[in-house]
Amino acid sequence: KAGVTQTPRYLIKTRGQQVTLSCSPISGHRSVSWYQQTPGQGLQFLFEYFSETQRNKGNFPGRFSGRQFSNSRSEMNVSTLELGDSALYLCASGPRDRSTDTQYFGPGTRLTVL
């Protein structure tokens, strides 16, 4: 079974721009979660989607948004980029209820904001 894929792997943007990241979960998985990883803050939960509905949201500003499509693929969007948005963005998928199931992580998208 193919793992979680994320595109693009690397991205360079400038302040004020917007960016869209994509995540394709493992086939059959319906839950997709997004995390931001930075050296200072570590891994922080952004949001989780299940069957096209956002189930949980972390403590991030409204500039961070996401969606999930009927095939479970997910995108996250960051508008009006700031320097502090530079991070590794990780996507994880799970088959059902995230509280008990293992999360399988993709390789991440490294975003650099100049």
Partner 1 sequence: AQSVTQLGSHVSVSEGALVLLRCNYSSSVPPYLFWYVQYPNQGLQLLLKYTTGATLVKGINGFEAEFKKSETSFHLTKPSAHMSDAAEYFCAVNGGAKIIFGKGTRLHILP
Calpha distance 7→22 (Å, rounded) = 5
Query: Are 47 and 57 contacting, i.e. CB atoms less than 8 angstroms apart?
Result: yes
Could you tell me how many residues of this chain bind partner 1 (CB under 8 A)?
A: 21
Q: Is 66 in the site for partner 1 (CB under 8 A)?
A: no
**Per-residue contact string for residues 71-110; x = within reach of partner 1 by CB under 8 A:** -------------------x-x-----xxx-xxxxxxx--
| Residues 21-60, interacting with partner 1 (CB under 8 A) | 33, 42-43, 45, 48, 56, 58
User: Shortest approach of partner 1 to residue 57 CB, angstroms?
Assistant: 9
Q: Which residues contact 24 (CB under 8 A, 6 or more apart)?
A: 4, 5, 6, 73
How far is the C-alpha of 69 from the C-alpha of 71, rounded, in Å? 5
Q: Using DSSP bridges, classify how beta strands 53-57 and 42-50 pair: parallel, antiparallel or unpaired.
A: antiparallel
* Contacting positions for partner 1 (CB under 8 A): 4, 6, 33, 42-43, 45, 48, 56, 58, 90, 92, 98-100, 102-108
